[in-house]
Amino acid sequence: MYGKSMSMSKSIDIEFSNVVYEIQDGFRGPKKQILKGINGYFKSGEMTAIMGPSGAGKSTLLNILTGFIRDKNHLRGKINYINKERNKITWNEYKRYSCYILQEDHLPSLYTVNEIMTISANLKMDNDIDQNAKRIIIDEILDTLDLMKNKYTRTNELSGGEKKRLSVALELVENPSIIFLDEPITGLDAHFSLQCVKMLRKLARKDRTIICTIHQPSATIYETFDHVYLLAKGRCMYEGAPKNTVEYFANLDLHCPKYHNPADYMIEIVNKEYGDFDDLLVEVIEDTKAVWQFKDKLSMIEYKDTRKIDYNEEEKTSVMVKTLSEYKKFWILVKSSLIPLQRDWTLFYMKIFIHFLVGTFFGLFFLNVGVDCQESFTNVKYFVVIFLFFSYTNMITAILKIPLELAILRKELFNNWYQLKTYYFSLLIIDLPIKIFCTLVTCSISYLLSGQPLQLNRFLMFFGISAMTTSIADSFGFLIGTLVNPVNGTFIGSVIMCILLLFEGGIILFNDMPKYLYYFSYLSYSRYALEGFVQSIYGYNREKFPYSDDLTYCVFLNPKIIFKELEIDDGKYSHNLLILIVFFVFYRIVSYFTLKRNLSST
Ligand SMILES: Nc1ncnc2c1ncn2[C@@H]1O[C@H](COP(=O)(O)OP(=O)(O)OP(=O)(O)O)[C@@H](O)[C@H]1O
């Protein structure tokens, strides 16, 4: 149906030479070479395994080839991405045609396989492709990866092997030419491991370059690979086809025992179980590479025949992918975020219910303090409590949420699902309205029960300050969460809350603050929030409290007195609201950059 308009998977080889990766061990410590000038050539149509003992540098090499590590201060050497015509392709082109599947799957849990595939297809495919066509393509991919039977299963209910295949399926939507996988079979049993590797080989046959790191594969899995790259202590010790391994080492007088797994034998050699052959292996591999690569090429001819047989299937699963505008991606992200809200009642309904309970609780605690002239100071404490609740809950939840988002975000950004700014704005649109709605619930109930003036404009002013408190705390929490881990974040967040309370002016009055500390209160958004609350309720010519006979003398009969006592200006509500908006925008902008920095550090 789409065959003629579709491009085939672009074939891209990777060639690297003299790659050195060096890091400083600790602060001012000695330099440590993790990769020591390695060379290699990974061809399209082949599935390559980067093997080696723990600490050999496998993940480092993979991270360098993918572009996860691009640190010019520590990385030297040449890496070329070469197309069929033997031309180098640009970095941006390479990024478009490659994807990286991490060891942990990081799949959002409340979506079904079909839903998450549809989101992936909507984000990655051009809008011109209609939903029916996308459905056909999704089914083809699921069919290829044997996931059709799980189409309506939620991702958290999938087995380890199915999750891994789904991770691959999500990226296949874009028809990548190069697929990197970090330890794809770790944690899978023998059956699923083999199934996973066979599936990858099938994808490689369609002109893709598949590169994965692998620890210690079984003999069957080892032989499934087309090409093996053995690393030990940052040096290449063997490169070639698995079927050549035994013969290669036998030529060096290293005889793999009969019925012994050649993969295990190689690891035993580089682990020096039969003596130290490291220098010899490095020397020989450099000298003989050409010969062994020629042998590999012979075996490639067989693959080409197989590919001819698969040709129609290849056309069927290839898709013309045009870049979708970030604006459209933004709306796709916003719409797709509604799915978990319907599924997990704790995300929305429970939050609203708890905010309702808290509002009732606050209301009962401060019952009718707003109508009682003598309780004016208690009413100010109600403002302090409401500020504390909105600030603390929103700041801490934001701090704790970041690590969960980061893992998925890192993967999806790297694989070009969307740009960071798209995600960032969509998060704002998705999260904040819910939080502000919860704020409205607590505000309304506690406002009524605590006996605040029944005037719509005052309520809206009061709610405006509450909503800004929520928004600022959420942004501040986000900022902290992008800078430190959740344990430190919750500690820092709690300390900041205490400081904000001290500078708010409701517990320690501004008059009572030491002068040199008083000026710091101008840097605290809590100050402007409290001023806004007091102005909403007592400002703007609020009429005097009604006088009754049983009322003993009350200084606050005239509401203006409260402003004097608290040393707050009357009539500057909009001024305070504006400052709160500036705080919000400031935290949001800064946290965008701290998030970006966090994502770029590996
Ligand atoms: N940023 C870093 N700082 C210090 N040492 C590092 C850093 N990154 C990697 N290393 C060291 O480099 C070596 C290679 O690490 P790498 O993660 O690439 O190994 P690996 O072969 O993938 O190991 P494993 O199979 O255990 O995951 C290890 O000794 C590791 O401690």
The interface predicted TM-score (ipTM) is: 0.95
Q: What sign has the CA pseudo-torsion 191, 197, 201, 203?
A: positive
Quote the ligand 1 centre to 444 CA distance (angstroms). 55
Query: Is a pLDDT exceeding 80 seen at residue 72?
Result: no
Alpha helix locations (H) across 310-375?
Answer: 311-317, 326-336, 338-343, 349-365
Mean pLDDT over 148-170 rounds to: 90
pLDDT-above-90 percentage for the chain: 48
Quote the ligand 1 centre to 332 CA distance (angstroms). 38
Closest by CA to 277, choosing from 233, 219, 339, is 233
Q: Lowest-pLDDT range, 74-88, 325-339, 419-433, 571-585? A: 74-88
The pLDDT value given to residue 314: 39
Mean pLDDT over 564-568 rounds to: 88
Closest by CA to 270, choosing from 220, 226, 229, 223, is 229
Query: Is a pLDDT exceeding 90 seen at residue 273?
Result: no
Quote the ligand 1 centre to 34 CA distance (angstroms). 7
Query: Is a pLDDT exceeding 90 seen at residue 553?
Result: no
Q: Lowest-pLDDT range, 101-110, 365-374, 530-539? A: 101-110
Residues 34-68 pLDDT 10s: 999 999 999 999 999 999 998 899 999 999 999 88
**540 in helix, strand or coil?**
coil
Nearest ligand 1 atom to alpha carbon 602: 1
34 lines ligand 1 (CB under 6 A): yes
Q: What sign has the CA pseudo-torsion 155, 161, 167, 168?
A: negative
Q: Are 512 and 504 in contact (CB under 8 A)?
A: no
557 lines ligand 1 (CB under 6 A): no
pTM, rounded to two decimals = 0.78
Nearest ligand 1 atom to alpha carbon 34: 12
Q: Which residue CA neighbors atom 31 of ligand 1 most closely?
A: 55
The pLDDT value given to residue 515: 87
Nearest ligand 1 atom to alpha carbon 62: 18
d(CA 252, CA 284): 9
The pLDDT value given to residue 126: 73
Classify burial at 39, counting beta carbons within 10 Å of its beta carbon; exposed 0-12, middle 13-18, buried 19 or more. Answer: middle
Q: Lowest-pLDDT range, 118-127, 298-307, 589-598? A: 298-307
The pLDDT value given to residue 550: 63
Cβ neighbours for 494, distance < 8 A, ≥ 6 positions apart: 392, 396
Quote the ligand 1 centre to 306 CA distance (angstroms). 38
Q: Which residues sit opposite 101 in a β-bridge?
A: 181
63 lines ligand 1 (CB under 6 A): no
Ligand 1 pocket test: pick from 34, 64, 65 the residue with the most ligand atoms within 8 Å of its Cβ: 34
Query: Is a pLDDT exceeding 80 seen at residue 482?
Result: yes
Closest by CA to 523, choosing from 548, 496, 544, is 496
Query: Is a pLDDT exceeding 50 seen at residue 388?
Result: yes
d(CA 181, CA 162): 15
Buried b (16+ CB within 10 A) or exposed e, 273-288: eeeebeeebbebbeee
Strand 12-24 to strand 178-181: parallel, antiparallel, or no bridges (unpaired)?
unpaired
d(CA 231, CA 236): 5
d(CA 563, CA 505): 12
Residues 317-331 pLDDT 10s: 344 445 688 999 999
**24 in helix, strand or coil?**
strand
Query: Is a pLDDT exceeding 70 seen at residue 391?
Result: yes
Cβ neighbours for 476, distance < 8 A, ≥ 6 positions apart: 395, 398, 496, 587
197 compared with 524, residue with greater pLDDT: 524
Query: Is a pLDDT exceeding 90 seen at residue 161?
Result: no
Ligand 1 pocket test: pick from 27, 60, 75, 237 the residue with the most ligand atoms within 8 Å of its Cβ: 60
**36 in helix, strand or coil?**
strand
Matching residue, tokens 């008059």: 511
Quote the ligand 1 centre to 491 CA distance (angstroms). 30
Find the distance separating the first CA and the last CA of the chain, reported in whole Å: 43
Quote the ligand 1 centre to 32 CA distance (angstroms). 11
d(CA 274, CA 252): 12
The pLDDT value given to residue 316: 36
57 lines ligand 1 (CB under 6 A): yes
Cβ neighbours for 532, distance < 8 A, ≥ 6 positions apart: 461, 464, 465, 468, 573, 576, 577, 580
430 lines ligand 1 (CB under 6 A): no
Quote the ligand 1 centre to 546 CA distance (angstroms). 75
The pLDDT value given to residue 549: 63
d(CA 80, CA 41): 10
Query: Tokens for 435?
Result: 């939080």
Q: How confident is the model at residue 7 (pLDDT cuts 50, 70, 90)?
A: very low
Residue type, 220: T
**E strands, 509-569, where?**
none
Q: Which residue CA neighbors atom 13 of ligand 1 most closely?
A: 55
450 compared with 558, residue with greater pLDDT: 450
Residues 86-133 pLDDT 10s: 778 888 888 888 899 888 878 888 899 999 999 999 998 877 778 888
56 lines ligand 1 (CB under 6 A): yes
The pLDDT value given to residue 309: 27
23 lines ligand 1 (CB under 6 A): yes
d(CA 20, CA 598): 25
Q: How confident is the model at residue 466 (pLDDT cuts 50, 70, 90)?
A: very high
The pLDDT value given to residue 403: 84
541 compared with 549, residue with greater pLDDT: 541
Residues 124-158 pLDDT 10s: 887 777 888 889 989 988 988 889 999 999 998 99
d(CA 20, CA 234): 9
d(CA 181, CA 161): 14
52 lines ligand 1 (CB under 6 A): yes
Quote the ligand 1 centre to 234 CA distance (angstroms). 10
Q: Are 67 and 91 in contact (CB under 8 A)?
A: yes
Query: Tokens for 2?
Result: 């789409």
Closest by CA to 231, choosing from 278, 265, 193, is 278
Query: Is a pLDDT exceeding 70 seen at residue 592?
Result: yes
